[in-house]
Structure 1
Amino acid sequence: MEIYKGRSNPDRRIKNNTGNKLGRTLLVAGGVTGVLALLAFIGYFFYLLGTLPKVDRLADYRPPIVSQVFGEDGNLVGEFYLERRTVVPVDKVPKKLIEAFVAAEDSNFYQHKGIDYLGIIRAAFKNLISMRKKEGASTITQQVAKSMLLTPEKKFSRKLKEAILAKRMEERLSKDEILYIYLNQIYLGAGSYGVQLAAETYFAKNVESLNLAEMAMLAGLPKAPNTYSPIKHLEKAKERQSYVLERMVKEGYITQAEADHAKNTPIVVRSLKKVNSEQSAYFLEQVRIQLEEKYGEDRLYKEGLRIYTTMNAEMQKAAYEGVVNGLKALDKRQGFRGPVKYLAESEVGEFCKHVEDSIDSAALKQGATFQGVVTAVNSAKGDVTVRVGDRTGILNRKNMAWAGKVTLLDTYGKPEGAKGKALPLGSVIEVSVVTPDVNKSGALFALDQEPEAQAALFAMDPKTGGVRAMVGGYDFKKSQFNRAMQAKRNPGSAFKPIIYAAAVDKGMTPATIIDDAPVEYDSGREKSWKPKNYDNIYRGAVTMREALTNSINVVSIKILESTGVNTAIEYAKKLGITSPLANNLTLALGSSSLTPMELTSAYAVFASGGYKVTPYFITKVVDSKGKVLEEIAPPALPVFSAATSAVTLSMDEERNAPAAGTTLTAVPAISPETSYIMTNLMESVVSSGTGQRARALGRPVAGKTGTTNDMKDAWFIGYVPQLVAGVWVGYDQERSLGAGGSGGQAAAPIWTEFMQRSLGGMPVQNFPVPANVTFALINPRTGRLAKEGSEGSVTECFITGTEPTTYDGDAVKTGSDE
């Protein structure tokens, strides 16, 4: 064996050299990689610097603010916005409110320069201990940077940008300027941006009036506005409030005694009267369309315009609720269609969570309608337990009586052959709140059903054209099609007053006798046209008044034939009808399609004493600095003196006189005498004819019903001296309205409910009688004069000079007698 002394093992030397070379190579490679990574990061950093938005524009902070819409009385009726916000100067924000936000969101705000490094370490340590993200470390400055200058995606690049911008903001803006932006920009839940609107939304106060308890509750919202909402989750909101108060104590902003007092201060959640955009959605949409077309989207949604309209808020509410109530009543007469859908037991929770998110009140409001799920049945009592979101209540047999016999099933799944008359577990049904819930349970519900039919209501001041209320359908969220202005439907007998008015101008009178007997017209086809009366009854000789009162079809056709179709069409145009009209005798039966606004505007001519006015919605638009952008004054109101028939002018100068702008005009369309004759005739329709439901108003009312073939369309147009309104009811895809679908049954109740509520504060007025209108006692069976005390005689109105001159029994003069 050979032994080498004093020399290394050659194999080991080779291995060591190889290892050293590998180590050096890896070290060099690592160093190069690190340098390259550093250079890449530096390059990326400088690249980001070049792509960052400019901080300088924050010095002139102008966030999008709400454009407000006001009704005729000056009250807020609607809003247009991208973000619902009211800007408040930082010097008007209470010091304690600022301290509450600082304590809760960024305790080192006044010490750091945009980034709180100690806060980052503290948050990381707490998150590491809890093994989840429990606390963030973004400063108020970083939150402003993210909100104002960056997109909200969760990426490293965005966080890096946020940090850089925060540093820049601190260099260019004062702490107060950053707070001003933060307090006005931050989202605080319930659709509210900024502390001022949040104070209004949750406590019906301005920020200056908040107490410490309320301040702390607002300051607790940024972490999770929905979770800590005092409207939805008051107990969680109080827990968060307590946290904020303790942070304020720790930071030395308040004493422990002050914190304890605030914790024990009762929280009263009370919003300022919230604008109900649902009930005025169609009206506001029309206003929005006009303004956006004229001023553009940015100005409308971001620049805080003040828009004054003709809407009467109480009338608008009455119109919306009248349409909803009327459609539900009509729908229930057609019967219960069964559950909206059927859920498996495993699907109930997810469905209810979705409903819960849509409820924005601590308790279910009386009269509100929701989709609920049947979760239990009590067959013995005939009750079912219904879950609405996270609330529960009872639907008893009495409150679903309209649906008839309904079978309750203690099983999940759609029953076989039930034909909609069964309620198994998991049934999704519409319910309305009869008695609100207490602590999320114990509500009393009534079975409801979303109507399939639609309706429209259009109401205006007949003397100025100001639109007071408009509803274009049952639910704007589901259908933005405005049936009041866009749906052209056959008016049926509601068109007859236009035919009769043309006849009056041609010399006919309310006492003119027409033979109500079957008639046949050659239609030019194999079959002739044999028009029929609605009730298939023929009355023989009747007056024009009786014909309109009872909406007699055959007589109306004969009146049109006597007047001339072309004459009637031209007359309709004078009243403001612009839609094409059928140039044949079917026009007397309302065979030509019109919009509710169009027909209601035509009736307004009768109500105004013969003047045509243009419906309008906007009276004034003012920008955020108070500059009037446009102003529209209604026409000077034409008034006919009953003594002289002379035209005088009157105007509510305070309301109507513009500083500068456009004055609308009232165009003479027909004579005041003809308009009064028609009004008087339509008063008979209400007092003793097809429109008797309107008698419930207990004041002089004129109006006319309309029902088309197979009851596909139901109408009622009517008016008092101060207000004219029209109602249409029907299906979008034309089909019969079924039982109770006539104009008097489907449309008149909606009209009557609306007018009863709208006229409550208005004085009772008679329709003014022009001096050239004469009243005479006549025999309605002959149309001739009657002597005082004659049996069956009635007082009739005439344009002076057209009244009858002979009595019953007088000899009739002929050519041979002369």
Structure 2
Amino acid sequence: MSDSSKRKRPLVADKRYPGKGSAVPKKAPRGKAPAKRKPARAKRPRRGGIIGLLSAFVGWVFRLIWKITWRLTAVAMVVLAVAIGYFYTTLPALDDLLDGRARGSVTMLDRNGDVFAWRGDQFGGVVTADSVSRHLKNAVVATEDKRFYWHFGVSPRGIASAIRINLSEGRGPLSGHGGSTITQQVAKLICFGEPFDASTGQTEAEYERSCRAGNIQRKAKEALYAMAMEAKYSKDDILSIYLNRAYMGGGAYGAEAAAQRFFGKPAAAVNAAEAAMLAGLLTAPSSFSPTSDLDRSQNRAATVIRLMREQGYLTQAEADAAQANPAELSEAAEAKAGGYFADWVMSTGPEFFTRNTTEDVIIKTTLDQRIQRAAEDGLKWVFENKVREGSKAQAAIVVMSADGAVRAMVGGRKTKVAGAFNRATQALRQTGSAFKPFVYAAALDLGYSPNDLIDDEPYCLNIPGSGKWCPRNYTNNFKGLVTLTDALKNSLNIPAVKVSESVGRELVSQVALQFGIKNDLAAGPALALGASESTLIEMTGAYAGILNGGSSVTPYGLIDLRLMGDNEPLMGTGGGIGERVIQEEAARQLVYMMEKVISEGTGQRGQFGGRQLAGKTGTTSAAKDAWFIGFSADYVAGVWMGYDDNTPLKGVTGGGLPTEIWRETMSRVHEGVPLSDLPMSLPGPASGLGEQQVASDPIPVDNGGGTLIDQVLREIFGPSSGGGGQKNIPARGEDR
């Protein structure tokens, strides 16, 4: 009997896939131990009571703030991105931003083609951050924005620092230091893409002020615009815009114009000291301008050099060399804006190409800078050595060639000026005896001889409505019979009036007018004594007509005008020699008479260097004006002296200080100029109004003695034209 209960279980394979409800454990992967379950974290028991309630509330508040903050930040970032994107789309092409001037410029060249003056908004041409001197690029970055190449257009550190400084100095947070980066400054320079529009009624100055407004709204817009620029342009592009548009003083916009303006060289060639001076101008271009205060500009440049050294842009040796050799101005820059001459040229040219030009214009002029310095030095020497200290007397000088080409002009004692009152061209003053050559020019052209005799004696005329008028000489005495030459060289009044009445005042006026005296001339007999008014440049031009043989002259300073970059001029000179006024022989005889003024007469102080010189002195009634105008064979020069308010000069006549100024000027002008003879003719026998007489004999008359001129005057005016019963009205013209 078998024991079935003890039988072994049959060998049956386990189910590969256990059914539902089976609890067959899964095998652990080979090579890995089964992962141990981490014990569950014990829950932190909540605090109860008031502390628990407060803790829960604070946690809820912080979670709420965080949710609001990140949502607002996200919204702000989206708005910021949209704003930057908008400004990005409005930004123009880079080339359109490099020259932002509303006006053009005028560059003036002297007779040799050298620049001596600028006007308007000077722009020397486009430069880039790569084309300028490395020193200039580094100086600008070191001075204006040392983190320029690392920020994104706005410098939070710079803004925070500026606010801290402003508050510490007692100002508002946005007043004073702005913390602006170069990019932000460029945004203001281009006025956020808003061009100037004159049709709005806003002036250019008001437009620029609005672009630089410092309120919070403008600051926010400035920051957005700066970031948009950073997204569109490279750092060097932004720096290039800055180098081209920044105002750097002296009318110069941009680095190229400033380098040419102050140093006479391109921006690519400036050294470290010059670059430091240019970069120093960016903070305050008017205050630090080297043409206004060179010492102050050099001190500012020294600070810039120190910054460059601290930031590693200069070695110690380079910095020491720049400090030891500060930048100096070019000759043109020292002359500032060309002074009175440049002002006059600007006033004579067409307004749309000079004062209101929108183009860049080049004007070639007649100026000779050597002669200009001679005139300035001569005037300065006389006032320093001959005039009492503190005198407010003024003087003016004009030097020109015989064809009217003005070589030098001084319109007052302050020679380094621009826009000042020009006494050489704007002051209308009585001419005194400087007018007398035109009286004798009319007579010589009619056939009078320099050797004709005339009686210097008491003389009166009846003036309708005024009564008897009796001129007198400066010395209150009479010379008797004198030649016309002696009458002119001693500046006698009575012979001048007699000759004028003999040939006719109308003819004298016509001769003076044709020689270039454009203002209304006196209608009475005092015409001969210079009662009329004129300007120094007109009088000097009229004397140039005598020198050139008797033809009229229009003084001029402009030779040609062209646009920058053009080879062909748009216009040429508007002056020069005009029509003949008197015969050449009459002019040559007049030169002979005027030569005697300097060699023997009232103008003897004008002699220098053994040269043949001719001229005429002039002093008006009560000595309110004193003149000397004269010439050599090469140049004509006129000098006026007086007070702007017509205060009489004390102890000054035309033969005194004005003649000395003339001599000091002309002696310097003629340094190195060969000696040349004046174009003059020695006089022949006395003409006697066509009747040949012996020069030493008076011209005979039939009634009561005197010369033939006296006879003619008696026939015209009657016996009252002689002496007797005089009413001595002062009419002084003789000079000492």
* Rounded Cα–Cα distance in structure 2 between residues aligned with 1:268 and 1:244: 16
Give the counterpart letter for 1:311 in structure 2.
L
1:78 aligns to 2:78 (yes or no): no
- The partner residue of 1:91 within 119, 130, 140 is 130
List per-residue Cα deviations over 1:449-494 (Å, max 9, x = no partner). 2x3222222222222x212222233347698333322322221111
Deviation at 1:158, TM superposition (A): 2.2
| Residues 699, 152 of structure 1: alpha-carbon distance in 2 compared, 3 angstrom cutoff | same
* Rounded Cα–Cα distance in structure 2 between residues aligned with 1:111 and 1:548: 82
Give the counterpart letter for 1:124 in structure 2.
A
Match of 1:468 in 2: 407
List per-residue Cα deviations over 1:123-142 (Å, max 9, x = no partner). 63797699859997533222
Bigger drift between 482-491 and 94-103 goes to 94-103
**Within 5 A, what are the aligned runs for 1:69-468?**
69-82=108-121, 87-95=126-134, 97-99=136-138, 101-102=140-141, 105-106=144-145, 108-115=147-154, 119-121=155-157, 124=160, 132=168, 137-149=179-191, 151-186=211-246, 194-196=254-256, 206-210=266-270, 222=282, 231-232=295-296, 237-238=301-302, 240-248=304-312, 259-266=315-322, 267-269=324-326, 270-277=328-335, 280-291=338-349, 293-295=351-353, 297=355, 299=357, 303-326=359-382, 331-332=387-388, 448-449=389-390, 451-463=391-403, 465-468=404-407
- 8 A Cα contact 1:307 1:620, kept in partner: yes
Give the counterpart letter for 1:184 in structure 2.
N
Deviation at 1:604, TM superposition (A): 1.3
1:721 aligns to 2:630 (yes or no): no
- 8 A Cα contact 1:457 1:726, kept in partner: yes
- 8 A Cα contact 1:685 1:692, kept in partner: yes
* Rounded Cα–Cα distance in structure 1 between residues aligned with 2:505 and 2:245: 64
**Within 5 A, what are the aligned runs for 1:485-524?**
485-524=425-464
* Rounded Cα–Cα distance in structure 2 between residues aligned with 1:129 and 1:724: 62
Q: Equivalent pairs: percent with the same residue?
A: 34
* Rounded Cα–Cα distance in structure 2 between residues aligned with 1:474 and 1:53: 57
- 8 A Cα contact 1:460 1:466, kept in partner: yes
1:62 aligns to 2:99 (yes or no): yes
Unaligned 5+ segments in structure 1 are 1-15, 250-257, 333-447, 636-663, 784-797
Bigger drift between 610-619 and 572-581 goes to 572-581
List per-residue Cα deviations over 1:194-234 (Å, max 9, x = no partner). 44456567777544445567656766775677689994376
Report the aligned-residue RMSD: 4.5
- 8 A Cα contact 2:433 2:618, kept in partner: yes
3-state DSSP of counterpart to 1:308:
strand
Give the counterpart letter for 1:718 in structure 2.
G
| Residues 123, 228 of structure 1: alpha-carbon distance in 2 compared, 3 angstrom cutoff | farther
**Within 5 A, what are the aligned runs for 1:591-740?**
591-633=531-573, 666-739=578-651
* Rounded Cα–Cα distance in structure 2 between residues aligned with 1:228 and 1:530: 60
Deviation at 1:713, TM superposition (A): 1.3
Deviation at 1:631, TM superposition (A): 3.5
List per-residue Cα deviations over 1:399-454 (Å, max 9, x = no partner). xxxxxxxxxxxxxxxxxxxxxxxxxxxxxxxxxxxxxxxxxxxxxxxxx52x3222
- 8 A Cα contact 2:143 2:304, kept in partner: no
* Rounded Cα–Cα distance in structure 1 between residues aligned with 2:259 and 2:354: 30
* Rounded Cα–Cα distance in structure 1 between residues aligned with 2:693 and 2:462: 37
1:767 aligns to 2:678 (yes or no): yes
3-state DSSP of counterpart to 1:307:
strand
Give the counterpart letter for 1:471 in structure 2.
V
List per-residue Cα deviations over 1:711-744 (Å, max 9, x = no partner). 11111111112211222222233232112x1111
Unaligned 5+ segments in structure 2 are 1-52, 170-175, 193-210, 703-736
- The partner residue of 2:666 within 732, 755, 758 is 755
Deviation at 1:582, TM superposition (A): 2.4
Match of 2:502 in 1: 562
* Rounded Cα–Cα distance in structure 2 between residues aligned with 1:523 and 1:298: 50
Deviation at 1:621, TM superposition (A): 1.8
Deviation at 1:193, TM superposition (A): 5.1
| Residues 45, 113 of structure 1: alpha-carbon distance in 2 compared, 3 angstrom cutoff | closer
* Rounded Cα–Cα distance in structure 2 between residues aligned with 1:127 and 1:810: 95
Deviation at 1:565, TM superposition (A): 1.7
3-state DSSP of counterpart to 1:728:
strand
Give the counterpart letter for 2:548 in structure 1.
S
- 8 A Cα contact 2:441 2:582, kept in partner: no
- 8 A Cα contact 1:280 1:317, kept in partner: no
- 8 A Cα contact 2:133 2:271, kept in partner: no
| Residues 616, 54 of structure 1: alpha-carbon distance in 2 compared, 3 angstrom cutoff | farther
| Residues 279, 330 of structure 1: alpha-carbon distance in 2 compared, 3 angstrom cutoff | farther
Give the counterpart letter for 1:719 in structure 2.
F
Give the counterpart letter for 2:181 in structure 1.
T
3-state DSSP of counterpart to 1:743:
coil
| Residues 104, 813 of structure 1: alpha-carbon distance in 2 compared, 3 angstrom cutoff | closer
| Residues 49, 318 of structure 1: alpha-carbon distance in 2 compared, 3 angstrom cutoff | farther
Match of 2:32 in 1: none
| Residues 290, 190 of structure 1: alpha-carbon distance in 2 compared, 3 angstrom cutoff | closer
* Rounded Cα–Cα distance in structure 1 between residues aligned with 2:459 and 2:701: 29
| Residues 72, 47 of structure 1: alpha-carbon distance in 2 compared, 3 angstrom cutoff | same
* Rounded Cα–Cα distance in structure 2 between residues aligned with 1:733 and 1:146: 47
Give the counterpart letter for 2:216 in structure 1.
F
| Residues 761, 634 of structure 1: alpha-carbon distance in 2 compared, 3 angstrom cutoff | farther
Q: Which has the higher contact order (CA 8 A, sep 6+)?
A: 2
- Higher gyration radius (CA): 2
* Rounded Cα–Cα distance in structure 2 between residues aligned with 1:753 and 1:109: 57
Bigger drift between 706-715 and 466-475 goes to 466-475
- The partner residue of 2:519 within 579, 583, 604 is 579
Bigger drift between 675-684 and 698-707 goes to 698-707
Deviation at 1:751, TM superposition (A): 1.5
| Residues 700, 63 of structure 1: alpha-carbon distance in 2 compared, 3 angstrom cutoff | farther
- 8 A Cα contact 1:456 1:483, kept in partner: yes
- 8 A Cα contact 2:85 2:228, kept in partner: no
- 8 A Cα contact 1:705 1:716, kept in partner: yes
* Rounded Cα–Cα distance in structure 1 between residues aligned with 2:492 and 2:289: 65
Give the counterpart letter for 1:232 in structure 2.
R
